[in-house]
Amino acid sequence: MAIGRIHVIGAGVAGLAAAVRLAQDGHKVVLYDSAGQAGGRCRSYFDAHLERRIDNGNHLMLSGNWAIRDYLQTVGAADSLTGPDDASFPFRDLRTGDTWTVTPDPGRVPWSVLFGAGRVPGTSLSEYLRIRHLACAGPEDTVQDCLAGPGTLFEKFWEPLAVGVLNTPVDTASARLLWPVVKETFGRGRAACKPLMARAGLSESFVDPALDYLAAKGAEVCFNNRLRALDLGDGQVRALDFAGATKVLDPGDQVVLAVPAWAAADLLPGLNGPQASHAIVNAHFRLTGPVPAAPPLVGLVGGTAQWVFLRDDVASVTVSAADALAAEANEAIAMRLWPEVQAALGLADGPLPPWRIVKEKRATISQTPAEDRRRPAPRTAWHNLVLAGDWTATGLPATIEGSIRSGFRAADMVVTSLSSS
């Protein structure tokens, strides 16, 4: 069979990762997106009110995320992430003003936790040993089932971490989805759990370099092209129906569908994938006074926000699993979160500075055991169609790392099916 084009639908990080890997292998790639830009839920833009470039939402990554590393290396953006010099996670309790820092040990064995010096103040060894319940969590176990109990470690570390990673309340979030993240990062010692953020912006790290790379490889990129329907028959995709034009596929053409779960459900009959989602609310504040000498990332407990990020003079707050908050008025959210930023960064009392609230109502799928079971494998019943996206069954939470791995996996499957046909 002739080797045709590979049509990648959706230019979020999953679609970009698939397109990059395929273009790297010398395949003819056409990448489409319904929006006028790439990046999907992971992008940056200039905010005219703040007069700053901001991300749609702060994205926290960890140095153990190997697929992120591979992807950035390929597109020439390996040095576009930044973070604290060491793998440390400073926290603040907004009720008491207490502060503490979680600093993982250098090696796989957490000696300092075992002997006491490295423990969060007021926590006991038995609280750390609960991690074994996470390691052997059953299919229905939640993060709370495995890690909560007497003591304060759950509230002071696991809960903000888990809500941030899984964007799902801890009493419903799947323990089995948190474990691979902990194993691949904290389980490998300090070098694998350094927090990382985009230095200039998410688009500058994940999107623009990838588009440049694809252009250099001769890939075609088509924005403002919404796939309206797939023409399915004879066990394959026969044509792509875009709003405005139908593209009949040639023999040997392949399709990677890398759209979000809710868009895929409209396109693929009988998909039956995840249906529930949770919101993430981000508040960006442009500081008007001197920029504090604060860490770039501070974890919060006892308030509304879980994490505060500081990039130049913009302080950004993330609230995950924020469905109720997202229903509130933007001004009320800004008023509620600004005092938390002031406390986290040690800012003097002052009026609300210029702010922007970004509500992503369907930020990720709900990562409960039941929804996780609905995540589909990439291979479909149509021989020239594979799925990618953070919502497919990657065994990981819906994160950038999971999205990129899903894109790589879809690309590898396409290559395998091309070489066997």
Ligand X SMILES: Cc1cc2nc3c(=O)[nH]c(=O)nc-3n(C[C@H](O)[C@H](O)[C@H](O)COP(=O)(O)OP(=O)(O)OC[C@H]3O[C@@H](n4cnc5c(N)ncnc54)[C@H](O)[C@@H]3O)c2cc1C
Residues that bind ligand X (CB under 6 A): 9-15, 32-35, 40-42, 56-57, 59-61, 226-227, 258-260, 263, 280, 282, 360, 363-364, 389-390, 398-401, 403
Question: CA 104 to CA 161: how far, in whole Å?
Answer: 14
- 153, with CB counted inside 10 A (0-12, 13-18, 19+), is buried
Q: Based on CB atoms, which residue is closest to ligand X, 263 or 393?
A: 263
Beta bridge partners of 315: 285, 310
What's the sign of the alpha-carbon dihedral 110, 115, 116, 117?
negative
Q: Based on CB atoms, which residue is closest to ligand X, 113 or 211?
A: 211
Q: Give the shortest CB-342-to-ligand X separation in angstroms.
A: 22
Q: Based on CB atoms, which residue is closest to ligand X, 221 or 227?
A: 227
Q: Give the shortest CB-266-to-ligand X separation in angstroms.
A: 7
Question: CA 402 to CA 375: how far, in whole Å?
Answer: 13
Q: Based on CB atoms, which residue is closest to ligand X, 12 or 295?
A: 12
Q: Give the shortest CB-40-to-ligand X separation in angstroms.
A: 2
Q: Is 189 left (phi over 0), alpha (psi -120 to 50) or beta?
A: left
Q: Based on CB atoms, which residue is closest to ligand X, 9 or 341?
A: 9
Instruction: Tell me if residue 254 falls in helix, strand or coil.
Output: strand
**What are the E-state strand segments in 86-215?**
89-93, 99-102, 195-198
Q: Give the shortest CB-348-to-ligand X separation in angstroms.
A: 29
Q: Give the shortest CB-191-to-ligand X separation in angstroms.
A: 19
Q: Give the shortest CB-155-to-ligand X separation in angstroms.
A: 20
Question: CA 90 to CA 103: how far, in whole Å?
Answer: 9
Neighbours of 125 (CB within 10 A): 11
Q: If you compute the radius of gyration of the chain from its CA atoms, what whole number of angstroms results?
A: 22
Q: Based on CB atoms, which residue is closest to ligand X, 297 or 341?
A: 297
Residue 85 makes CB contacts below 8 A (sequence gap 6+) with none
Question: CA 360 to CA 54: how far, in whole Å?
Answer: 14
Q: Give the shortest CB-121-to-ligand X separation in angstroms.
A: 26
Q: Give the shortest CB-289-to-ligand X separation in angstroms.
A: 27
Q: Based on CB atoms, which residue is closest to ligand X, 161 or 418?
A: 161
CB neighbour burial string for 230-257, b if at least 16 within 10 angstroms, e if fewer? bebeeebbeebebeeeebebeeebbbbb
Q: Based on CB atoms, which residue is closest to ligand X, 3 or 232?
A: 232
